[in-house]
Amino acid sequence: MDIRISSLLLGALVLNGCAGDKCEDSDCSDTGDELRDPVPADLSDRMPARSPWEGTPEGVAVLALLNDEATTQDVLDNDVPLDRRAAGNLIAHRDGGDRLWGTSDDDVYGDMDEVDRVRYVGPKTIERLVVYASRTGWVPGGEDLLGIYDGVSFTVVEADAAITLVNTVSESQLDNDLALDVRAVDSIMDARPIETIDQLSRLYYVGGSALRAIKDASLALANQD
């Protein structure tokens, strides 16, 4: 290869913010549009799939990390490390137009889908954030709060117990013992195996009353054991 061409290619990589393994293992492209496959026509009217990290302790950790004042572009770029463009866009989204944390125009991250929609952010970027959040103590566990779903709070332990219960009890137990609406029972049975409380809470006819009944039943079962 001509030396001048080789030098130009190397310069382009540097200017684009990619270097070493960060470039090889990033979600970056020239436009960012290549990151997502086009939606097939027969699926275009369906709800988009939620992030697999949503409702997990690791997903909660990433949100807490990104929304924290101490998390700067330098932290994301150098410590995580992310591609410079992904790091910059994540912080710019959070801090709003004034580029300052903690002001009225902030747009803090409410779920993992919001993170995934940021330009130059995709699965590999989120995996790096998960690894960093786990390594630095952000992941909740045990009696730590996982989240509040339809007004019902779940710790990590309570969420695990609830998911175990809805995946293992019979249809008649959901209907008779927990006294769930028959439509909620059908939704749960159709969706099994259910992986997270977030997924459970988004099923048809599974609202606050159903989640409270599931939580209470799973805690009672745990106490018996």
What residue spans define the domains of the chain?
1-33+50-139, 145-224
Q: Under a CB-based contact definition with an 8 Å cutoff, are residues 96 and 106 in contact?
A: yes
Residue type, 158: E
Longest dimension (CA), the chain: 76
pLDDT in tens, 15-65: 344 555 666 667 776 544 444 444 343 333 334 557 899 999 999 999 999
- The reported pLDDT for the residue numbered 27 is 79
Q: Is the dihedral of CA 7, 13, 15, 20 positive or negative?
A: negative
pLDDT in tens, 73-96: 999 999 999 999 999 999 999 999
CA angle (31, 35, 41) in 5-degree steps = 110
Closest CA to 214 of 190, 180, 191, 189: 180
Q: Categorize the per-residue pLDDT at 103 as very low, low, confident or very high, splitting at 50, 70 and 90.
A: very high
**What is the rounded average pLDDT for all residues in the chain?**
86
Mapping DSSP to helix (H, G, I), strand (E, B) and coil, where does residue 149 land? strand
Phi and psi angles of residue 89, each rounded to the nearest 5 degrees, phi first:
-70, -35
pLDDT in tens, 125-166: 999 999 999 999 999 999 999 999 999 999 999 999 999 999
